Amino acid sequence: MTQPTEPTESEISFRTRKWVRPEDLNANGTLFGGSLLKWIDEEATIYTIFQLGNGRVVTKFISEINFVSSARQGDLVEMGLRATEFGRTSMTMRAQVRNMITHASILTIERIVFVSLDEYGRPLPHGFTDVTLGRDRIHPDLLH
Ligand SMILES: CC(C)(COP(=O)(O)OP(=O)(O)OC[C@H]1O[C@@H](n2cnc3c(N)ncnc32)[C@H](O)[C@@H]1OP(=O)(O)O)[C@@H](O)C(=O)NCCC(=O)NCCS
């Protein structure tokens, strides 16, 4: 039997799964886009914190979003992110969301840009150029 393996740094990792609840629905009875975007932004925040080792990161830019299919109450959706570019103070990601029940793609976002900030809210150079698959970049300040 083949064991599941950790994705390599060039692959999207689908780490988060969401169950579509009644409060996540729009007037059409399908998944509300705002709920989905909130989930993606949260997921991207956590991913960026791990990659850049800084808890103070903000969303700077999100490219075109084309909702190609949807989900219904009770469906399960999964979200994946991959870092595509490390800038001086920024990191760019690609996002994919798919419906685990229908196997259909719900959306793809080519570019989500986050910026690392210092304590004054100014862009802070992060010094990283590649993806970490571990937790080695967690800054001591984030630990309790
Ligand atoms: C994030 C913020 C401090 C950046 O300020 P800024 O004056 O644009 O800073 P810079 O020009 O130095 O750019 C910082 C980085 O963002 C990138 N950037 C700036 N504008 C961008 C855009 N429109 N698209 C993609 N990247 C952009 C720059 O290329 C730079 O990346 P690099 O250092 O890796 O090269 C400022 O725009 C801000 O506070 N925005 C609000 C963020 C926020 O609150 N988001 C939550 C949602 S409201």
**pLDDT tens readout for residues 114-136:** 999 999 999 999 999 999 887 78
Asked, for residue 77, whether it belongs to a domain, the answer is yes
In a domain, 142, yes or no: no
Q: What CATH number corresponds to the domain at position 47?
A: 3.10.129.10
Give the binding-site residues of ligand 1, using a 6 Å CB cut-off.
58-61, 87-90, 113, 115, 123
More confidently predicted of 85 and 11: 85
Mean pLDDT over residues 43-51, rounded?
A: 94
Which residue minimizes the CA distance to atom 28 of ligand 1? 90
Query: pTM value?
Result: 0.92
Q: Which residue segment(s) compose the domain that 19 sits in?
A: 13-124
Q: 29-63 burial, b if ≥16 CB within 10 A, otherwise e? A: ebbbeebbbebbeebbeebbbbbbbbebbeeeebe
Q: What is the pLDDT of residues 96-115, one digit of tens each?
A: 999 999 999 999 999 999 99
Q: Is residue 131 part of a domain?
A: no
